[in-house]
Structure 1
Amino acid sequence: MKYMRCTTPQGLLSHREIAATWISRFHIHTDAAHILITSGINHALTCTLSALFQTGDKLAVDCYTYSGMKAIAKHLGLQLEAIDMDEEGMSPASLEQVCHRTSIKGVYTMPFIQNPTGARRSEKRTQQLLAIFKKYTLISIEDDMYGYLLPETQVPLAAYYPERSIFLSGISKVCYPGLRTSFVVAPNTFHNLICQAIIDTVSMSPAMNVAIICNCITNNLIDSIIENKRAELALRASILYTFKKGLKVLADLINQGP
């Protein structure tokens, strides 16, 4: 019956401890005190942006970015600054130019598999971006929606820059979309602000949904689901490759611009 009662906005302690174990897969070693549970990635983005940004603030994003981010930013009155991309995602040179030209408060990226281009960031690229983030004291928001599909992931920027980084780990696409669950890693500086945003939106994520997700993690069912999804992805990719002739490759599309 405890899952039917109201919880604290950040979620039950036992669930956040399991979340910390899950997030460690992506080279972020944290604890329950720095985790908040939200009702999916879009809810996590809404809470993060409304808590840390004000109307008119500027947020740098990939020139091809997640459509949900654009909708949320528009709703909150944030200005998005498009940063050029290549096959590894956001261009450090382009980001530096934009930061030099105007006042950027934060940067939104997808560290492992970028949506919608599929670009993958290398360790070298992460370090290049990190230097710029530190130079301009930017807030980093990393949205890990698809990293679980990779057998090995690069270290996200949040692992090197925890004091001003928000790391979002979406679980809905890993397991069951209807359960709408995401884990958010936030430093002490931002934690209470995001907690308040959760209260202001849904009060708390349904504990029953989170309990199902956590059970999938602890009994290793989530690993079976991931392996099945990887196998299906490989099958679909092999089918696509048979029709690849005549299709433009990702790098060509990126270099052409919008």
Structure 2
Amino acid sequence: MKACPRILIVAGSDSGGGAGIQADIKTVTMLGGHAMTAITAVTAQNTLGVTGVWPLPAEAVLAQIDAVAADIGVDAVKIGMIGSAEVAEAVAARLGQPDLAGVPVVFDPVMIATSGSVLADAETMRAFTHLMTLATLITPNLPELAALAADPGGDSFDPIAAARAIARSSGAPVLVKGGHAEGALVSDRLVAPEGIVAVWEAARIETRHSHGTGCTLASGIATGLGAGLSLEQAIGRARDYVRAALLAAPGHGAGHGPMGHALGVAPFDVLRPASSPSA
């Protein structure tokens, strides 16, 4: 694998630290990458919900992308909360420019926070179409998948059929995530136009501290792709990290709490040399 891949994160800020840019940076760092950010929106939120959202103008988002791409370079891109339709179109156009063409893109179409707060309006969701055509992988949760497929959901909703339709129209495979489904087994399925091409299954981890799972998974996959892993290898590694972080959740907050991205360890304390007392 490539050492310390450069991962550009285009996403919103979560003041509670459980999701968004904050979760992305922790994930990329823990998986051996260098995290760079283009913040699309600032939110006021905690484990109980979102109390405010302030999208940034497209000019500010593009300036952040240009700054890091021109100097540091980019090995993979993760897109999360996009903020507005204008920003979605601007980011899509920027990713199509020669310096970023061919860079793997993981698009996590954030629409609704874990608490249920809406983070993308109808116009922004319509603008996702262009971003999806540039993606290497699209990672919606089940409610987001239904929204992208213009399906109301419910008992008649067929996530695999919806994912196949999106894969056909966008040209990108879709990871159908099982976290929002019911049952003791969580099944994540990689879906291409022809159908299911890979499946990952594991026992469900029962916890209310699951805020940021989607952000973490998408950033983990982007880090793997930036390091040179295949898509299936990157997904498997990111899933394992998400599960480890769920098990290490510190228990903060009264609602949907943050995961334990640091996995309950302090590597610096383990690796640092013994300090000498000052004279």
How does the TM-score come out when normalised to structure 2?
0.39
Higher helix share: 1
Between 1 and 2, higher relative CO (CA 8 Å, sep ≥ 6) is seen in 1
